[in-house]
Amino acid sequence: MERVCSKVRHRLRDPVTGLLFVLPVLVLFLVFRIFPTLGVAGMSLTDWKISGEWSFVGGDNYARLFDDPNFLTSLQVTLVYSAIYVPLTVLVALGTALLLNSVIFMRGLFRGMLFLPYVTSFVFAGIIWRWIYEFDGLLNGLLARIDVGPVAFMEESALVLPALALVSVWKGFGYSMLILLAGLKAIPGSYLEAARVDGAGPFQRFRRITLPLLKPALFFVLIIETITAFQVFDTIYVMTGGGPARASYTLIYGIYEQGFRFFDFGYAATLGMVLFAVVLVISLIQRRLMDRGNT
């Protein structure tokens, strides 16, 4: 009997020890993630005033979404922005990862230089790129040399989203580049060498070996960048303020405007829950695709 009790205590000791190690992070996650999410979900069912007074309205805020043209505009703008930003980021990150994987001399220096924009401030990047896009800025100065322009990148509704997406790609591709570079390093060199001996060219090796083995990393990068696209705010706040004519009015900017300009916290919380639902669905898709890729 004592031997059985000793085995039970031994089996329980490891999980308890592990739980104690993760407990601080778990508490932080509950305080700063779970509890605020539950609070926002509750707030979305109320008419919450800036004074702290509130009244329960049930699903009225959610019904209001379908009659709000600004919500439909923000959803459309977010989808269009994501359709531009995500493929471009993945392509740039994949291209730079392939180049870094083939570079031998000063690889660390090139990796640091390409990753540097990712660790810069979004506000700083927005200010610099706004100057680049101005009528008398750097880009229009270069276009003038070939008798083109000037182009109103920030004032044209058709150009503002591609221009903002380009800024975000420059700012954020470094993270995905490192993920894909790690995936490339995990591919056994013997596979590529065997294909080279069999007469496969660079494109065939990439298509038949590199790309299939890189699928898990590509899936991860694709979903992470999609979530990033739905959460874009800093660049738009600094560069356009949602304009011109709400051409860059995204979901996150709509949440900011409803909450901190109009102080309609209940409706802002409702928009936040919509965004949460979208990100949750994307995360579930990520989990499904990753599990399928592993099998």
Number of folded domains in the chain?
2
Position 10 scores a pLDDT of: 56
CATH code of the domain containing 258:
1.10.3720.10
Residue 179 in this model has a pLDDT that exceeds 90: yes
Give yes or no: residues 134 and 7 share one domain. no
As a whole number of angstroms, the distance between CA 209 and CA 231 comes to: 34
Cβ contacts of residue 272 below 8 Å, gap of 6+?
Answer: 40, 44, 255
Give yes or no: residues 32 and 83 share one domain. no
Give tens-digit pLDDT for 26-82: 899 889 888 988 998 999 999 988 877 889 998 999 999 988 989 999 999 999 999
Give tens-digit pLDDT for 79-105: 999 999 999 999 999 999 998 888 777
CA nearest 61: which of 47, 72, 71, 77?
47
Give yes or no: residues 172 and 246 share one domain. yes
As a whole number of angstroms, the distance between CA 226 and CA 224 comes to: 5
Identify any residues that bridge with 48 across adjacent strands, giving them in sequence order. Answer: 54
Residue 148, CA atoms < 13 Å, CB-side half-sphere: 6
Residue 215 falls inside a structural domain: yes
CA nearest 172: which of 118, 114, 104, 127?
118
Give yes or no: residues 35 and 133 share one domain. no
Inter-helix orientation angle 215-230/157-185, to 10°: 150
Percent of the chain clearing pLDDT 70 (strictly above): 93
Residue 15 in this model has a pLDDT that exceeds 90: no
Residue 243 falls inside a structural domain: yes
pLDDT band at 219 (very low <50, low <70, confident <90, very high): confident
Task: Supply φ then ψ for residue 88, to 5 degrees.
Answer: -65, -40
Residue 63 falls inside a structural domain: no
Position 1 scores a pLDDT of: 52
Give yes or no: residues 75 and 35 share one domain. no
pLDDT band at 293 (very low <50, low <70, confident <90, very high): low
Average confidence (pLDDT) over 155-159: 88
Residue 196 falls inside a structural domain: yes
Position 285 scores a pLDDT of: 79
Give yes or no: residues 18 and 141 share one domain. no
Position 177 scores a pLDDT of: 93
Residue 205 falls inside a structural domain: yes
Give yes or no: residues 164 and 263 share one domain. yes
Domain range for 162 is 68-294
Read out DSSP for 210-264? IHHHTHHHHHHHHHHHHHHHHT--HHHHHHTTT-STTTT--HHHHHHHHHHTS--
Position 171 scores a pLDDT of: 92
Residue 12 in this model has a pLDDT that exceeds 80: no
Residue 61 falls inside a structural domain: no
And the tokens for 25? 């992070």
Residue 54 falls inside a structural domain: no
Give yes or no: residues 28 and 159 share one domain. no
Which pTM was predicted?
A: 0.85
Give yes or no: residues 130 and 36 share one domain. no
Residue 208 in this model has a pLDDT that exceeds 90: no
Residue 51 falls inside a structural domain: no
Name the least confident of 60-74, 123-137, 186-200.
186-200
Give yes or no: residues 22 and 166 share one domain. no
As a whole number of angstroms, the distance between CA 182 and CA 187 comes to: 9
Give yes or no: residues 37 and 77 share one domain. no
- With the CA atoms of 91, 96, 97 and 99 taken in that order, what torsion angle do they form, in degrees rounded to the nearest 10? 130
Give yes or no: residues 149 and 33 share one domain. no
Q: If you average pLDDT over each of 117-121, 217-221, 248-252, which comes out highest?
A: 248-252
